[in-house]
Amino acid sequence: MSEDNNPDPGWYYNTKTNQVEHGTRGRAVDLLGPYPDRASAERALQTARERTKAADAADRAWDSDDD
């Protein structure tokens, strides 16, 4: 048996349909991902909120730096 030349496409969260997708995907502009598994894709919006919060905090810290 030969090795599969097509790697797993990953899991995506579609922000337009609010659905997790694997394999056949919607438009790239509507997707968050790829994620390594379904559970990670299901948490995509939570992950995005957490990352945005951390980035906003880093921006505030940088803006307030008087150096």
Q: Establish if 50 belongs to a structural domain.
A: no
Query: Which amino acid would we find at residue 57?
Result: A
Stronger pLDDT, 39 or 3, i.e. the higher one? 39
Q: How many domains does the chain have?
A: 1
pLDDT tens across 6-54, in order?
A: 678 899 999 999 999 998 789 999 999 999 999 999 999 999 999 999 9
pLDDT tens across 47-65, in order?
A: 999 999 999 999 999 988 7
Tell me the residue range of the domain where 32 lies: 8-36
CB count within 10 Å of CB 30 equals 14
Which of 48, 22, 47, 49 minimizes the C-alpha distance to 36? 22
Q: Establish if 63 belongs to a structural domain.
A: no
Report pTM: 0.75
**Contact by Cβ (8 Å): 22, 38:** yes
